[in-house]
Amino acid sequence: MEVRAEKPEDIEAIRKVNVAAFGREGEADLVDRLRGVASTFSFVAVESGQIVGHIFFSPVAIEGKCADNLLILGLAPVAVLPDYQQRGIGSLLIQHSLAECTQLGCQAVVVLGSPKYYLRFGFTPAREKGLRCEYPVPDEAFMVLELKSGALDDCVGTVKYRSEFNKLE
Ligand SMILES: CC(C)(COP(=O)(O)OP(=O)(O)OC[C@H]1O[C@@H](n2cnc3c(N)ncnc32)[C@H](O)[C@@H]1OP(=O)(O)O)[C@@H](O)C(=O)NCCC(=O)NCCS
């Protein structure tokens, strides 16, 4: 299996992966709204020429105190075709793309999701770093990973996703 950056010809397959994985159009629409926005990154997992997984990152802002020159990304969404789940594809996609994000100059990544899944990649509760989510979610569901150690030492406040997320229910 290969993980690589999205290409223009992948757009339709990426939609299909997100719709199949989430069972609705919302996440696929979100990706389409965010595509082309500065500092967004999109990667696909390819097996035997077929796109079986997709992951997307978009920049978040800290409302509070934080250095202006930090690039902090929100991981969302990540999706694997139902027939291909539970085979490690999601894990490979996440690990590989986090390494890519580091290369691309990102210092930290936040994610909203299941701690059971994301803690294995090194994410920790964001509240321990003084960061909270703008949405009313359980504390433990909002996590952060420093790609550069100590990057968030001087950051505290509310993490704001791009306005394109507001339409996602
Ligand atoms: C989440 C997802 C991307 C994981 O992909 P995957 O290829 O199945 O993941 P892996 O095979 O690498 O890992 C499987 C592990 O993830 C766990 N897992 C999968 N989805 C999970 C979820 N929503 N909550 C908690 N754990 C989950 C499985 O229980 C399994 O755990 P185990 O290793 O302890 O048995 C995939 O299940 C998916 O597309 N789900 C639907 C969309 C979604 O909910 N995306 C995440 C929110 S943005």
Count of the separate structural domains present in the chain? 1
Nearest CA to ligand 1 atom 27: 117
This model's pTM is above 0.85: yes
User: Cα angle at 119 between 71 and 78, to 5 degrees?
Assistant: 65
Nearest CA to ligand 1 atom 44: 22
Mean pLDDT calculated for residue range 144-158: 96
pLDDT over 80 at 128, yes or no: yes
Q: What is the CATH number of the domain that holds 77?
A: 3.40.630.30
Ligand 1 pocket member 90 (CB < 6 A): yes
Cis, peptide link before residue 138, omega less than 30° from 0: no
Give the model confidence (pLDDT) of 52-110 as tens digits. 999 999 999 999 999 889 999 999 999 999 999 999 999 999 999 999 999 999 999 99
Domain with 22, as residue range(s), is 2-167
Torsion of CA 169, 46, 7, 104, to 10 degrees: 80
Mean pLDDT calculated for residue range 9-25: 98
